[in-house]
Amino acid sequence: MNELDQLYQAIILDHAKARHGHGILENPDGESFQVNPTCGDQVTVQVNMDGDTISELVWDGKGCSISQASISVMSQLVEGKTVTEANELLDLFSELMNSRGKGIDDSKLDRLEDGSAFVGVAQFPARIKCALLGWMAMRDATIKASSMKGEGQ
C-alpha cells in the first residue's frame, strides 16, 4: 500500500470513529431516513435551515465504516452552506464515486476536502452506495425542509 492509500485509509477510519455531526435534533426543519438494502447501512439526516442555508445538520445511523465516515465528512462539508452549494458538493462526490477509482480534477478534489479520500472506494462498485447513502439523505432532508418552510408561509 502506498503512502497516499495509507493516508486515505486513515482519514476514512478517523471519520468512522470520530463522527462529525452525529446527534439528533429535537424539532428539525427536515429529516430523511435512508437504507442501503444491499448491506443494511442506514442513516437519518436532520437539518435546520436559515433561509436557504443549512444552519445545522446532524445524523444518526449504523453501518460500515465507509458509510459512517462518508456521512461524517459530508456533515462537515455542507453545514453552513446553501442548499445549492451542498448539492454542488454532492454532484462532485457523485462524480468521484462514478470515476471508478480514476479520480477527478484536482480543483474538484480540493473542494471535497476529506471527501477526496474516498477515491479508492470508487474502485469497488458495491461500496459506492455505502459512500453515497448520507449524501442522498442530506439532499432529501433539505428538499423536505424547503417544502415545509414553503408551506408555513
- What count of other Cβ atoms lies within 10 Å of the Cβ of residue 101? 12
The predicted-structure confidence for 62-86, as pLDDT tens digits, reads as follows 999 999 999 999 999 999 999 999 9
Summarised one tens digit per residue, pLDDT across range 75-115 is 999 999 999 999 999 999 999 999 988 889 999 999 999 99
Domain ranges of the chain: 3-151
CATH topology classification for 3-151: Sufe protein. Chain: A (3.90.1010)
Nearest 5°: CA angle at 98, between 4 and 101?
25
CA angle, 97 then 102 then 104, to 5° = 70
CA atoms within 13 A on the CB side of 73: 28
Q: Which amino acid is at 68?
A: Q
Backbone angles phi, psi at 125, to 5 degrees: -50, -35
